[in-house]
Amino acid sequence: MINVLIVDDSKIARNKLKDTLAELGNYFNVVCEAEDGKDGLEKFTQNKIDLVLTDIEMPNMNGIDMAQAIREIDQNVEILVVSSVDIENVKQIFKQQHIKTITKPIKLQQFKSVLSHLLRKGED
């Protein structure tokens, strides 16, 4: 079971991500949710998280800063940025830190492919 933290300021987006994870089977356990990066970072430190799904544009702390802070705490946690913001200008930062990105609206097949990779990696 992969423990998941979902961080997005939109409740609709968080619910859609939870529904999509549920469609993939019983592999993912959404442990907690957060409405911004500051809350996400706090919840990450309080829980055992294997996968962080995050937006970029959020109040209090954006997803980029949160992902970098999480990476300093745990080099092995998987981070997937799911955002409607044009992420081309930050892809290099993410690539260096082994953070994957998907653009909203989510293409289900691409999302499944990335998450399937994570599942296979977890079986190693």
Q: What CATH number did the domain enclosing 15 receive?
A: 3.40.50.2300
Range of the domain at 42: 2-115
Helices (H), the chain: 11-23, 37-46, 63-73, 91-96, 108-123
Q: Is residue 121 part of a domain?
A: no
How many angstroms separate the CA atoms of 110 and 82, rounded? 11
Query: pLDDT tens for residues 23-56?
Result: 887 889 999 999 999 999 999 999 999 999 999 8
Q: Is residue 124 part of a domain?
A: no
Percent of the residues in the chain that have a pLDDT greater than 70, as a whole number = 83
Q: Is residue 47 part of a domain?
A: yes
What is the tally of structural domains in the chain? Answer: 1
pTM over 0.85: yes
Mean predicted confidence (pLDDT) in 4-18: 95
The three-point CA angle 62-67-73 to 5° equals 130
Query: pLDDT tens for residues 66-81?
Result: 999 999 999 889 998 8
Q: Is residue 11 part of a domain?
A: yes
Q: Is residue 9 part of a domain?
A: yes
